[in-house]
Structure 1
């Protein structure tokens, strides 16, 4: 039988949750008024802000498909998995690699509750309650150790997550600890809010950051390209490198112009030599 951990019984609906805010941006149903308040505030700055969440989700789907098909990877560690949508990591990966094992990590009680349901009919998908910004808490977890073989390549996802970290350690240091634990041939995918550092777009990024930081969620840092690139220490970036999420191997030609906010979220995939 698949493994999980007991979800916390108490859900605090007076504080916005990262996972539930993303769910609200994606028009989901697993969110509360406090989460929707964050969305409303962000949309006052950028009415098309939901497109960032959609670009991040579609980036995840394309990256998973690439890593499973082209990379032949059969193990996935998805950090900050969020609430289930139509196409989750395990669904995409296991459609290509039926034997693929996926371990999701999150510590949001609503996500954990959904995680238990997710596990009921899939014995190759597992869920861990842990702080994704404390690598040893994740890497030493008994479920992670039991279901992922760290002598074989692993795909590690930090998608739409580490821009919500604002602790004392640098994001690059956190990622280095994860990367050091991965075997050769592993892949790491990161997506992150971007300050484009241009006169046209940087003010938008900073206004969005200000709203996120002063909203009931309290997190959401827009870092520079150099800061984000530093989160791939020792990795070889897969072409085209660090680009707008929407431009990372899109499924077809662009037939409409980008919304300004789409220039404020980037992603990349790196391979460990």
Structure 2
């Protein structure tokens, strides 16, 4: 059973989890595959460890313990998808950034302007894309999410081939991991004030129409006079400790035409409509 479990783990780590277009980017770092293999081998070594946890009581005496492997387990699966723009000049530059050890940043996927998709990390492994972030009670978004970087400098519209490929990828991920509709988020949503991506040009409404995230209805019921917008933002999942930052993050996602750090009546109406969907 031990051998079977390790083989299962290895298979899940190396098996591609999404069919993508043929990569057109040449690996920019010669030893990137070597480093990737070394990293995954190290993780497998950790998974093979069967040493019991060593504990002592209040008097310092060891508490008897042993390791007996359960046969009922698998890999942890992602439950969120976080969308980013690359803020770089090209797909090649982004892939190079994620292939250098010294940068300490990565993502599971990168989507090029031509619609090509580069799969850079197995979905079950923890990418370093979210950084210091929070959504609801989750304070380590890297451990429960898939990071998708979209080739865009932040000051330009996204291309049609890019969005079509992204929608196809999101559909695959949602189906494969049973990710809830409300768990497709932007980097700005989980890191208000620190990150602005995927930015005000990102077509959140179009994604919501396909079941990836939410968007407000065309006909809005006015928010009641006593509507507590900060409580509504917190119930959605936003970190509300910095009010101007969270307003900015909300409006970048759900308003987009106005990202000033004040809540207008229209903004309140949109928020009142959206938060009831979560």
Is TM > 0.5 for Structure 1 vs Structure 2? no
TM range (shorter): under 0.3
Higher relative contact order (CA 8 A, sep 6+): 1
* Greater strand share, structure number: 1
TM-score, normalisation: structure 1: 0.25
